[in-house]
Amino acid sequence: MCAKTATIAAAQGHDSGILRRADTSETLQGRRVAIPAADGVERVELEQPREALERTGAQIKVLSIHDGEIQARENDLDAAGTFTVDGLVADASVTHYDALLLPGGTVNPDQLRVDPDAVSFVREFVESGKPVAAICHGPWTLIEAGVVEGRTLTSFPSIRTDLRNAGADVVDQDVVVDGNLITSRSPDDLPAFCDTMGAKFASNSTQEEVMS
Protein backbone atom coordinates (compact mmCIF):
# COMPACT_ATOMS: atom_id res chain seq x y z
CA MET A 1 0.00 0.00 0.00
CA CYS A 2 1.24 3.47 -0.82
CA ALA A 3 1.83 5.80 2.11
CA LYS A 4 -0.66 8.66 2.01
CA THR A 5 1.23 10.92 4.37
CA ALA A 6 4.61 12.10 3.18
CA THR A 7 7.53 13.06 5.34
CA ILE A 8 9.75 15.56 3.56
CA ALA A 9 13.20 15.68 5.06
CA ALA A 10 16.31 17.48 3.97
CA ALA A 11 19.49 15.94 5.30
CA GLN A 12 19.68 18.73 7.86
CA GLY A 13 15.95 19.38 8.05
CA HIS A 14 13.50 19.02 10.92
CA ASP A 15 13.02 15.26 10.43
CA SER A 16 16.66 14.34 9.94
CA GLY A 17 17.14 13.58 13.62
CA ILE A 18 14.46 10.93 13.46
CA LEU A 19 16.02 9.34 10.40
CA ARG A 20 19.49 9.23 11.96
CA ARG A 21 18.68 7.47 15.23
CA ALA A 22 19.86 4.11 13.89
CA ASP A 23 23.54 3.21 14.06
CA THR A 24 24.15 2.46 10.38
CA SER A 25 27.55 0.91 11.05
CA GLU A 26 25.75 -1.89 12.87
CA THR A 27 22.34 -2.15 11.25
CA LEU A 28 23.57 -2.25 7.64
CA GLN A 29 26.11 -4.96 8.35
CA GLY A 30 25.32 -7.76 5.91
CA ARG A 31 22.25 -6.02 4.50
CA ARG A 32 21.73 -6.68 0.78
CA VAL A 33 21.13 -3.75 -1.58
CA ALA A 34 20.29 -4.13 -5.27
CA ILE A 35 21.21 -1.45 -7.81
CA PRO A 36 19.36 -1.91 -11.11
CA ALA A 37 21.35 -0.01 -13.75
CA ALA A 38 22.01 -0.04 -17.48
CA ASP A 39 24.35 1.60 -19.99
CA GLY A 40 24.38 5.36 -19.60
CA VAL A 41 24.20 5.38 -15.82
CA GLU A 42 25.52 8.60 -14.29
CA ARG A 43 28.74 7.38 -12.68
CA VAL A 44 28.72 9.52 -9.57
CA GLU A 45 25.10 8.61 -8.80
CA LEU A 46 25.98 4.92 -8.64
CA GLU A 47 29.49 5.16 -7.27
CA GLN A 48 29.04 7.53 -4.34
CA PRO A 49 25.88 5.92 -2.86
CA ARG A 50 27.39 2.46 -3.31
CA GLU A 51 30.58 3.47 -1.51
CA ALA A 52 28.57 5.09 1.29
CA LEU A 53 26.54 1.92 1.80
CA GLU A 54 29.56 -0.37 1.61
CA ARG A 55 31.33 1.67 4.30
CA THR A 56 28.49 0.78 6.67
CA GLY A 57 28.70 -2.93 5.90
CA ALA A 58 26.04 -3.33 3.21
CA GLN A 59 26.46 -5.93 0.47
CA ILE A 60 25.83 -4.39 -2.96
CA LYS A 61 24.85 -6.06 -6.23
CA VAL A 62 24.65 -4.20 -9.53
CA LEU A 63 21.86 -5.77 -11.60
CA SER A 64 21.40 -5.03 -15.28
CA ILE A 65 19.51 -6.07 -18.38
CA HIS A 66 22.65 -7.65 -19.84
CA ASP A 67 25.70 -9.29 -18.31
CA GLY A 68 29.33 -8.19 -18.45
CA GLU A 69 29.79 -4.45 -17.93
CA ILE A 70 27.67 -1.33 -18.25
CA GLN A 71 28.96 1.93 -19.66
CA ALA A 72 28.93 4.90 -17.28
CA ARG A 73 28.60 8.57 -18.23
CA GLU A 74 29.51 11.93 -16.72
CA ASN A 75 26.88 14.64 -17.21
CA ASP A 76 25.12 12.24 -19.61
CA LEU A 77 27.57 12.98 -22.44
CA ASP A 78 31.12 12.00 -21.54
CA ALA A 79 32.32 8.42 -21.21
CA ALA A 80 33.19 7.65 -17.58
CA GLY A 81 34.38 4.06 -17.51
CA THR A 82 32.37 0.96 -16.71
CA PHE A 83 30.77 -0.96 -13.86
CA THR A 84 30.83 -4.73 -13.58
CA VAL A 85 27.41 -6.36 -13.62
CA ASP A 86 26.88 -8.76 -10.71
CA GLY A 87 23.68 -10.32 -12.02
CA LEU A 88 20.69 -9.98 -14.33
CA VAL A 89 17.60 -8.19 -13.08
CA ALA A 90 15.59 -10.89 -14.87
CA ASP A 91 17.00 -13.45 -12.42
CA ALA A 92 16.66 -11.30 -9.30
CA SER A 93 14.13 -11.86 -6.53
CA VAL A 94 12.87 -9.15 -4.20
CA THR A 95 13.13 -11.62 -1.31
CA HIS A 96 16.91 -11.73 -1.75
CA TYR A 97 17.41 -8.01 -1.08
CA ASP A 98 16.69 -5.58 1.75
CA ALA A 99 16.77 -2.28 -0.15
CA LEU A 100 16.91 -0.85 -3.67
CA LEU A 101 18.90 2.03 -5.20
CA LEU A 102 17.99 3.60 -8.57
CA PRO A 103 20.72 5.92 -9.90
CA GLY A 104 20.06 8.31 -12.75
CA GLY A 105 21.53 9.48 -15.99
CA THR A 106 18.96 9.86 -18.75
CA VAL A 107 19.86 6.82 -20.84
CA ASN A 108 20.05 4.41 -17.91
CA PRO A 109 16.45 4.65 -16.60
CA ASP A 110 15.16 5.05 -20.15
CA GLN A 111 16.48 1.54 -20.83
CA LEU A 112 15.22 0.11 -17.55
CA ARG A 113 11.69 1.43 -18.02
CA VAL A 114 11.24 -0.44 -21.31
CA ASP A 115 12.52 -3.72 -19.86
CA PRO A 116 9.59 -5.74 -18.42
CA ASP A 117 11.79 -7.62 -15.95
CA ALA A 118 13.31 -4.42 -14.56
CA VAL A 119 9.93 -2.71 -14.26
CA SER A 120 8.38 -5.73 -12.55
CA PHE A 121 11.29 -5.99 -10.12
CA VAL A 122 11.02 -2.32 -9.15
CA ARG A 123 7.24 -2.53 -8.79
CA GLU A 124 7.43 -5.57 -6.52
CA PHE A 125 10.14 -3.90 -4.46
CA VAL A 126 8.12 -0.78 -3.81
CA GLU A 127 4.97 -2.78 -3.06
CA SER A 128 6.93 -4.97 -0.62
CA GLY A 129 7.42 -1.95 1.64
CA LYS A 130 11.20 -2.26 1.57
CA PRO A 131 13.07 1.04 1.12
CA VAL A 132 13.74 2.32 -2.40
CA ALA A 133 16.04 5.29 -3.10
CA ALA A 134 16.04 7.05 -6.49
CA ILE A 135 18.00 10.08 -7.62
CA CYS A 136 17.86 12.45 -10.60
CA HIS A 137 16.19 10.59 -13.53
CA GLY A 138 15.91 7.39 -11.46
CA PRO A 139 12.18 7.97 -10.73
CA TRP A 140 11.43 7.38 -14.43
CA THR A 141 11.43 3.65 -13.66
CA LEU A 142 9.13 4.25 -10.68
CA ILE A 143 6.68 5.97 -13.04
CA GLU A 144 6.73 3.02 -15.44
CA ALA A 145 6.20 0.66 -12.52
CA GLY A 146 3.02 2.55 -11.62
CA VAL A 147 3.99 3.23 -8.01
CA VAL A 148 4.15 7.04 -7.75
CA GLU A 149 0.47 7.95 -7.65
CA GLY A 150 -0.33 9.72 -4.39
CA ARG A 151 3.32 9.80 -3.35
CA THR A 152 5.49 12.86 -2.69
CA LEU A 153 8.79 12.85 -4.57
CA THR A 154 11.45 15.04 -6.09
CA SER A 155 13.57 14.51 -9.20
CA PHE A 156 15.61 16.21 -11.87
CA PRO A 157 13.49 19.13 -13.15
CA SER A 158 13.02 17.71 -16.66
CA ILE A 159 10.98 14.69 -15.49
CA ARG A 160 8.78 16.45 -12.93
CA THR A 161 5.94 16.85 -15.42
CA ASP A 162 6.10 13.08 -16.01
CA LEU A 163 5.81 12.50 -12.27
CA ARG A 164 2.85 14.88 -11.95
CA ASN A 165 1.12 13.24 -14.92
CA ALA A 166 1.56 9.91 -13.13
CA GLY A 167 -0.21 11.28 -10.05
CA ALA A 168 2.75 12.20 -7.84
CA ASP A 169 3.06 15.32 -5.70
CA VAL A 170 6.37 16.86 -6.75
CA VAL A 171 8.39 19.15 -4.49
CA ASP A 172 11.72 20.93 -4.88
CA GLN A 173 13.82 19.60 -1.98
CA ASP A 174 17.32 18.14 -1.88
CA VAL A 175 15.93 14.91 -0.45
CA VAL A 176 12.37 13.71 0.13
CA VAL A 177 11.15 10.76 2.16
CA ASP A 178 7.62 9.41 1.63
CA GLY A 179 7.11 6.09 3.37
CA ASN A 180 9.59 3.67 1.79
CA LEU A 181 10.55 6.03 -1.07
CA ILE A 182 13.62 8.31 -0.86
CA THR A 183 14.26 10.69 -3.77
CA SER A 184 16.71 13.46 -4.65
CA ARG A 185 17.11 15.89 -7.54
CA SER A 186 20.67 15.69 -8.91
CA PRO A 187 24.33 14.90 -8.16
CA ASP A 188 24.49 18.16 -6.21
CA ASP A 189 22.21 16.52 -3.63
CA LEU A 190 24.34 13.39 -3.16
CA PRO A 191 25.53 14.26 0.38
CA ALA A 192 21.94 14.63 1.60
CA PHE A 193 20.78 11.68 -0.47
CA CYS A 194 23.46 9.29 0.80
CA ASP A 195 22.99 10.35 4.41
CA THR A 196 19.21 9.99 4.35
CA MET A 197 19.27 6.81 2.29
CA GLY A 198 21.68 5.12 4.69
CA ALA A 199 19.65 6.15 7.72
CA LYS A 200 16.38 5.02 6.13
CA PHE A 201 17.87 1.70 5.05
CA ALA A 202 19.20 1.21 8.59
CA SER A 203 15.91 2.19 10.19
CA ASN A 204 14.06 -0.29 8.01
CA SER A 205 16.47 -3.09 8.80
CA THR A 206 16.17 -2.40 12.53
CA GLN A 207 12.38 -2.59 12.30
CA GLU A 208 12.58 -5.88 10.42
CA GLU A 209 14.89 -7.35 13.07
CA VAL A 210 12.53 -6.30 15.87
CA MET A 211 9.56 -7.83 14.02
CA SER A 212 11.33 -11.11 13.21
Provide the annotated active-site residues. Answer: 136-137
Question: For 187, which DSSP code?
Answer: G
Secondary structure class of 103 (helix, strand, coil)? coil
User: What is the SS3 assignment for 59?
Assistant: strand
Cα separation, 114 vs 143, in Å, equals: 11
Cβ contacts of 148 within 8 Å, gap of 6 or more: 139, 142, 163, 166, 167, 168
Sheet holding 181-184, edge to edge: 87-88, 59-64, 32-36, 99-102, 132-135, 181-184, 175-178
Cα→Cα distances 6→42, 103, 135, 138, 159, Å: 27, 22, 17, 19, 20
C-beta of residue 171 within 8 angstroms of C-beta of residue 144: no
Which residues, other chains included, contact 10 with Cβ-Cβ below 8 Å and sequence gap of 6+?
A: 16, 173, 174, 175, 192
